Each structure stands twice: as C-alpha cells, then as structure tokens.
Amino acid sequence: MRLENARRRVTPVNPAKLLAYGFAAVIAVGTVLLLLPLSTAPGRETDIMTALFTSTSAVCVTGLIVVDTGQHWSAFGQGVILGLIQIGGLGIMSMSTIIALVLGRKVTLRERLVIRESTNQLTMEGMVRLVHLVLAATLIFEVTGAVLLTARWIQDFPLGEAVWLGVFHSVSAFNNAGFSLFSESLKGYVADPAINLVVITLFVFGGIGFAVLAEVYQRFFHGERRFSLHAKIVLSVSGILLLLATVVVFAMELSNPETLGGLSGSGKVFGSFFTAATPRTAGFNTLPTGSLRHSTLLFIVLLMFVGGSSGSTAGGIKTTTFFAIAVAVKATIQGRGDAEAFHRRMSSSIVNQALTIVTLAALVVIMVTLTLLMTEGAELVDCLFEAMSAFGTVGLSTGMTPDLSGAGRALITATMFIGRLGPLTLALALGQDSRRRVTYRNPREDIMIG
C-alpha cells in the first residue's frame, strides 16, 4: 500500500492537460461574470452563448465579437473583458506564478513544468526569472501605450473617457487581442500617425515573444555579443513578413476605391502597413476587411496561419515553425540531410514537431471551414477567413461573426480555444498522462512518395 501511494505521488504531471484545464476554468468564470446584469449596458440582454463566445474570445486573445463591445457591455462588463484579455495574454500559469511570488509562496516543480509548456520554452532553466520578465515587459509596454493613446484621444474625448480608451486599447493591442471600444475598430484613424504607430508597436512587440524581448534588451543594454538561433529566426522572419506583406497589400488594394483607393498618400501607406501587420494575430483593422479583394483576403489568410512567435501573446503556427518547415524543404531539395540556418543545425525532432503542428493546424482549419459551409451557407472565402481568424486567434472578420448560427458560434468558440492552446498541446492534453517508453525499433522498410 505504501509503495502504491508513493507511485501515485511521483506520477508525472501532464502540463498540457493542466494548461487546458486552466484556460477552460478562466473562460467559465468569465462567462458567469458576463452573464451578470451588472455586465450588460441598460436596455441590452446577454444570453449564455454570447457570454461564452465573448469570454472565450477574450481569454484566447482573439477579438472576434458577436455584439458591439463598446455598446453592449457596461463599464463593468468591459472591465471583465479587459481582465480576461490580460489573463489570457500573460498565460494562466504566469498569472498564478505572479500571485504566488507576491504572496511569498515558493513555485513548485509542477508549476515550473506548466510554465515551460505555456511559454514554449526548451528547458526549465530560469522559469521564475522569465515570469518576472513577462510582468516587467507587460507593465512597461501597456503603461507607455496607455499614456500615449490617452494623450491622443484626450483631443477628441473627455479626460475620463480618453483614459479608459487608452488603457483598454493598450492592453488589447499588446496582448494581440483586437478588442476595441469603437464600433468599427480603428477605421476612423486609418491615416492617424499616432494611433497607427502606437498600436502597431504594441502588437508587434507583443507578438515577438518575451524571451526574444529579453535577448534584445541584453544585446543593446548589457553588451551581449550574439542572439540565439531562436531570436535570429523570430526577428528575421517577422521583419521580412511585415515588409513583404506591406508591399503586397499596397499593390493589391491601391486601385480599390473601397479601401486604399480613396485615401490620401499617408493614408495609403498607414493603411497598407497596418493591414499587413494586424494578421499576425492583432485583430484590429483600419481598412474595412469585408471590402478587401479576394486575393488580399487569401494572402491575409496565409499570414494568419503563420501568426506570431513562440512564447508571445500571438497565435498561429508561429514564425519559428514556418521557418523550420521552409528550411527542411530547402535541405531536401538540395539533397542535404540536415536542416540548417545561421550556421546552426536543427534536430530532426524539431522539424518533425513543426511538421506535426502544421499538419494538425491545416486539418483543423479545413474541418472548421467545411462545417461552416454546411451550417452557415456563406461563401467559401468568408468561411475560410473566419475559420483561420479563429484558429490563429486573430479576430479579423469579413462580417459574418455577428450573424453566426448557434452551431457556428459553438464551432468558432471551440476553434478559438484550440488555437490558443495550440493543436499539438491540445493533442497532448487529450492523450494519456503516462506514455510508455518504447524500448525497441521495428525493421525499416521504405515506401514510394511524390
């Protein structure tokens, strides 16, 4: 009996399952809070599906909405949404660790394991230090963004309203949530340099990842000589995609009178830059998404699929996953056995994991798109865009989100949850807690492919 109890005590924890339970619990609490009459604006009513959808979208930092955030919810309800965004952006375990540190409690091994899982770190070294960094970076960016946005909006609104707008949009932007208190997101500020630069800076840095932010800080303020391979990939891919996307959007939409065509020169530049950056899971928009050309929408779908970077507030398959697959394809074409980048070799296990993530993600998006086509009767491009936006936790929509059926809302809610956890993490969470180690290898036999 003692031996059996001892074995139970040392049973390895499944970090993925605990992470999934944590997100589900916060979503449930958020749903209950949003159902309170105090959360709804006078004259409005909230049903359970609306509350669940909104809570999931906030915790999963997506930004898809079925009701107008600024009009449907009271100040208390908006505060609940903002709190859910902050918890979802920082991560469940990062928040619990911060609370534990404030209370003076020691962080356990189990908690460190889950922190590693939630932040996609390779080792458990420096987990508590990473949480300190997450908190510091979040406070610096969000407070600075709130001050700058308030300074801009105080020109158009009373002081109290300007402060709330600044705080809400700063937190939403840095956490790549995309929730806005304006009925048309930020379309009224398409040519405004202050709003564009502040909001873009917030969600770009929020989507880079806290570990990379730490390396950038060490490099420029403490004289570190080199970046890690991870940081090099994240910074390079993010920069290239942002520049390429800006040029592509500008070229595709320049003659579209409903988007860039009717704007001034600066409006065209800011509109292209913002539209190129926001699919990296930010969710805000300054151009009417539903008026974009189908070619532009398809290009944005590809950007949403890649998403941001590992260990950040962004979604998607992540820039490092995309890069690993691209490098592996290049190595295969060149007849080389190893995937290499920046004079470093990637292990086959990393490439296999990247391939698994891409495959699972593609399957999820395809299945959701097919189901939406059956339940909503909408156009293929709209269903694909909605499915990818939900999975990538982006929050952009061509306009079909408020009109989703009950089945459609339930499907998109589940897709946002899968996208925030990641398909691989969710698969591990659904798997067995104790997986037997295979101590043998089967005989090898090749097959014909291609």
- What local confidence, expressed as pLDDT, does residue 424 receive? 62
Is a pLDDT exceeding 90 seen at residue 220?
no
Q: What is the pLDDT of residues 146-197, one digit of tens each?
A: 999 999 999 999 999 999 999 999 999 999 999 999 999 999 999 999 999 9
SS3 call for 73: strand
Q: How confident is the model at residue 95 (pLDDT cuts 50, 70, 90)?
A: low
Highest mean pLDDT, choosing among 26-40, 100-114, 117-131, 308-322: 26-40
Higher pLDDT, 19 or 36: 36
* Structure token pair of residue 217: 């800080």
> What letter represents residue 305's amino acid?
F
| DSSP class per residue in 32-54 | HHHHSGGGBPTT----HHHHHHH
SS3 call for 349: helix
- What local confidence, expressed as pLDDT, does residue 65 receive? 94
Highest mean pLDDT, choosing among 5-19, 165-179, 314-328, 430-444: 165-179
* Structure token pair of residue 310: 């590992």
Range in 83-87, 328-332, 390-394 the model is least confident about: 328-332
Higher pLDDT, 19 or 12: 19
Average pLDDT over residues 391-410: 93
The Cα 76–Cα 94 span in angstroms is: 24
Is a pLDDT exceeding 80 seen at residue 436?
no
Answer yes or no: are the C-beta atoms of 80 and 39 closer than 8 Å. Answer: yes
Could you tell me if residue 437 is inside a domain? no
Higher pLDDT, 311 or 424: 311
The total domain count for the chain is: 1
Is a pLDDT exceeding 70 seen at residue 118?
no
Could you tell me if residue 394 is inside a domain? yes
Range in 139-148, 168-177, 262-271, 423-432 the model is least confident about: 423-432
Q: What is the mean pLDDT of the chain?
A: 84
Is a pLDDT exceeding 80 seen at residue 316?
yes
Highest mean pLDDT, choosing among 13-27, 57-71, 82-96: 57-71
- What local confidence, expressed as pLDDT, does residue 4 receive? 47
Average pLDDT over residues 352-364: 90
- What local confidence, expressed as pLDDT, does residue 332 receive? 86
* Structure token pair of residue 116: 């590693």
DSSP-assigned letter for residue 41? P
Could you tell me if residue 1 is inside a domain? no
Instruction: Output the pTM of the full model.
Output: 0.86
Domain encompassing residue 258:
9-430
